[in-house]
């Protein structure tokens, strides 16, 4: 029983490529919940929330201390597949300011291995406003690439091209066959809110007022994470919880 076991991840997770277009730029949306900008070989991940499990321990709620390992194992698979030149972690990469003190040695090793030979950017988030000490990478408030701007918290009225996290969108999809609730990308073509990537990160329903405030009358489509592909679903088919 080791914390580094990654056995059960499916080999077929990355199958049908699905593209989300933001401000005219096409990005590959991976069903694991990442974006890949092919031209720049840039892999983007939002809201890793590393060490969320251990953050409850001080309150004596003992969640399994394996969420960091589980999250990094999924990042490792994506990095192996896309071989990115740079990885952007879009903020809230660490669940709290003291996460770096608690992270397990084996997980630090995994992180180092991921960073080796590529640029690694920690965007500041509200959970982790300061760059993590001793965990490599470079820190910044936001990152630009062509028309795209990558930041943690989406801004109301931002100009087209914003790619952000923070809101943890999930969609509840209802059809005649039934109903399910999954993480999703939310995009109206001008901006994109990415799903949370962290193993213990919860979700906020797309119908929440936070999204309508952000997108206004431009109702976003949900790009819902399925088992082996991303499914675009019209907002009308997404329901409140």
Kindly list the residues in this chain that would bind another protein in the complex (CB under 8 A).
Answer: 1-3, 5-8, 53-54, 57-67, 69-70, 102, 104, 173-180, 182, 199-203, 221, 224, 226-228, 231-234, 237, 239-241
How near is the Cβ of 224 to another protein at its closest, in Å? 5
Q: Output 81 or 104, the one with its CB closest to another protein.
A: 104
The structure tokens listed for 232 are 């675009």
Q: How far is the CB of 144 from another protein (least distance, A)?
A: 31
Residue 110 C-beta-side C-alpha neighbours within 13 Å: 22
Phi, psi of 59 (to 5 degrees): -90, 10
Q: How far apart are CA 99 and CA 216, in angstroms?
A: 35
Comparing CB distances to another protein, the nearer of 65 and 131 is: 65
Query: How is residue 76 written in tokens?
Result: 């490792």
Task: State the minimum distance, in angstroms, from the CB of residue 200 to another protein.
Answer: 5
In the complex, the smallest distance separating the C-beta of residue 18 from another protein, rounded to whole angstroms, is: 10
57 or 113, CB closer to another protein?
A: 57
CB 184 within 8 A of CB 234: no
Q: Of 73 and 149, which has the nearer Cβ to another protein?
A: 73
Q: How far is the CB of 135 from another protein (least distance, A)?
A: 17
CB nearer to another protein: give 134 or 177.
177
Q: β-strand 162-164 against 191-193: which pairing, if any?
A: parallel
């Amino acid at each position: 029983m080791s914390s580094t076991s990654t056995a059960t991840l499916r080999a077929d997770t990355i199958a049908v490529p699905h593209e989300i277009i933001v401000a005219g730029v096409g990005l590959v949306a991976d069903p694991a919940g990442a974006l890949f900008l092919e031209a720049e070989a840039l892999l983007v991940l939002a809201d890793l929330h590393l060490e969320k499990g251990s953050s409850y321990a001080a309150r004596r709620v003992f969640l399994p201390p394996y969420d960091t390992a589980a999250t990094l194992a999924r990042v490792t698979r994506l990095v192996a597949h896309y071989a990115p030149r740079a990885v952007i972690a879009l903020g809230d990469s660490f669940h709290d300011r003291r996460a770096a003190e608690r992270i397990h040695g084996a997980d630090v090793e995994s992180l180092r291995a991921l960073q080796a030979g590529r640029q690694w950017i920690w965007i500041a988030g509200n959970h982790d406003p300061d760059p993590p000490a001793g965990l490599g990478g470079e820190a910044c408030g936001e990152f630009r690439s062509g028309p795209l701007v990558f930041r943690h918290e989406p801004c109301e009225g931002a100009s087209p091209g914003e790619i952000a996290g923070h809101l943890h969108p999930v969609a509840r999809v209802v059809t005649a066959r039934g109903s399910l609730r999954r993480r999703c990308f939310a995009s109206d073509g001008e901006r994109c809110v990415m799903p949370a990537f962290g193993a213990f990160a919860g979700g906020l329903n797309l119908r929440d007022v936070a999204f309508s405030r952000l997108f206004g009358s431009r109702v976003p489509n949900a790009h819902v994470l399925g088992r082996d592909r991303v499914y675009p679903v019209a907002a009308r088919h997404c329901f409140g919880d």
